[in-house]
Amino acid sequence: MLDVLAQRGHAVVPEPGRRVVQREQAGTGRALPWVDLAAFLHQALALATADHAEYRSAADWVFFDRGMVDAADGLRHLTGMLPVDAAELQSYHVNVFLAPPWPEIYVGDHARRHDFAAAEAEYWRLRTAYAALGYRLHELPRLDTEARADWLLAQLPAAG
């Protein structure tokens, strides 16, 4: 769906984890989630933090495919410690759009090796994390990508 938003002229920031995997597979391959999950999450958090800083003062909507909260909560889940201050994690727009677990479209690939059950568990963990940080959660409807993009954009004026 983010591809559709980008095609419509909106700023879109790709998923940090996928970029870390791509970089690691081209290099040493040590900070991969299936090799060293903590190293992977630290790198994803650093990249998400840099992404957020880059777009923080954007005048128009910017859509992030995952971000600091996802990586920080992954580290909290892994280590029991939240690696950054909660205030920093609360610096995105108050409205967060989450894609629910959807078996019909879930696809594993070279960068996403975990199964659907793991993706589903992560989804529920992240729902809890975002809600605990005070975000207003909006579940994306199970529609085709064009219709989902239409729905999301229709929510923005009301989401304010």
Tokens for 154? 């229709």
Residue range 33-59: mean pLDDT, rounded: 95
Number of domains in the chain: 1
Residue 138's domain is classified under what CATH number?
A: 3.40.50
Range of the domain at 152: 2-159
Please report where in the chains the tokens 């996802």 appear, as a residue.
Answer: 70
74-119 pLDDT per residue, tens: 999 999 999 998 889 999 999 999 999 888 878 777 777 788 999 8
pLDDT-derived band at 158, boundaries 50, 70, 90: low
The rounded percent of the chain whose pLDDT value lies above 90 is 76
For residue 28, pLDDT over 90 is answered with: no
* Spatial CB neighbours of 23, under 8 Å, sequence gap ≥ 6: none
Residue range 44-68: mean pLDDT, rounded: 94
**CA–CA gap between residue 41 and residue 99 (Å, rounded):** 21
Mean pLDDT of the chain: 92
